[in-house]
Structure 1
Amino acid sequence: MQIIQAVIVKQLLTENSKQQLFNGYHSKKLQLQKECDQLQFELKRLEKSKSLSPGTLKKQFEKEIQMRKEKIKLLEFQAEQLHILPLGSEIKEKEVQALVELNVGDNWDERFGQSEIIVSDGVIVEIR
């Protein structure tokens, strides 16, 4: 019998992967800042046109801007934490699904325990 099991993919922190993560955080942060600026511009444009009710519209725009600002703060926190981590640390990258073959007599705890794939600079180095 085959079943689907969740497998955690962890990245082994190296100089290269650390720099890639920093670059990813930075680009996401810049994108969110651009989105905030665009939303503020659109809000001002709509306020000047006065075509829609300003109260609810302004609240919706402010809510969207605030959500993006919170994401920016989270990215900044993640970058700070990444800076603190020593090389060789394992970072959970994502979770994938895998097919697992089960047979009568298999040890359930061993076969269905949490599996992990360890990746270093894009190369699988260990499967646990």
Structure 2
Amino acid sequence: MKIIVTYDVKQILTEESRASYLDEWQKEHASLLRECDHLQFEMKRLQKKRPSDQKWIADQFDKEIRTRSERMSFLDFKMDQLDQLTLGAEIHDGEIQSIQEVQMGDEWHGREQKGKIVVKDGIVQSIVPDSKGKDIMI
């Protein structure tokens, strides 16, 4: 029988990974800022086209702009936190799922718990199948 096991992916912070995260988040921030500017432009254009619906149009666009602004604030927070972390710290970098074979007679304890994959500069450093299992070092 096959089961799905979830693994937390942890990234070890290095100068290279710090620069990569900052670059990725700065690009996303700039993209969101451009989207906000474009939404403002489109809102004004629509309001001129349909003066009777100005309030409704403003409400709809403001909701979208607010969503993007909140995401930008979150990115700013993440960048500030990243600057404060020391090299070697583990950063949560998502989750993945793996299909594993389970047979009669296998030990079940711990199978229902998450495993962990540790990555450093794009290279897998270790895989821990679950909280009770041994590290698989690479």
Fold conserved between structures, TM > 0.5: yes
Distance apart, 1:10 and its partner CA? 1.1
Structure 2 CA distance for partners of 1:103 and 1:44, relative to 1, 3 Å: same
Given that residues 12 and 119 in structure 2 are in contact (C-alpha distance below 8 angstroms), is that contact kept between their aligned partners in structure 1? yes
Given that residues 119 and 126 in structure 1 are in contact (C-alpha distance below 8 angstroms), is that contact kept between their aligned partners in structure 2? yes
Aligned mates of 1:36, 1:101 — CA distance in 2 = 48
Give a deviation string over 1:54-78, Cα, whole Å, max 9, x none.
1211100011011100000000000
Structure in which a larger fraction of residues adopt helix: 1
* Structure 2 residues without counterparts, runs of 5 or longer: 129-138
Give a deviation string over 1:72-98, Cα, whole Å, max 9, x none.
000000011111111111111111110
Query: Counterpart amino acid of 1:42?
Result: E
The aligned residue for residue 115 of structure 1 is 115
The aligned residue for residue 13 of structure 1 is 13
Query: Counterpart amino acid of 2:56?
Result: T
Given that residues 13 and 120 in structure 1 are in contact (C-alpha distance below 8 angstroms), is that contact kept between their aligned partners in structure 2? yes
Q: Which has the higher contact order (CA 8 A, sep 6+)?
A: 1
Aligned mates of 1:28, 1:13 — CA distance in 2 = 20
The aligned residue for residue 28 of structure 1 is 28
Query: Counterpart amino acid of 1:83?
Result: D
CA RMSD of aligned residues (A): 1.3
The aligned residue for residue 97 of structure 1 is 97
**How many residues are matched?**
128
Distance apart, 1:52 and its partner CA? 6.0
Aligned mates of 1:113, 1:62 — CA distance in 2 = 42
Aligned mates of 1:125, 1:112 — CA distance in 2 = 23
The aligned residue for residue 74 of structure 2 is 74
SS of 1:117's equivalent in the other structure is strand
Structure 1 stretch displaced more, 50-59 or 115-124: 50-59
Aligned mates of 2:17, 2:26 — CA distance in 1 = 14
After TM superposition, the score normalised by the length of structure 1 is 0.93
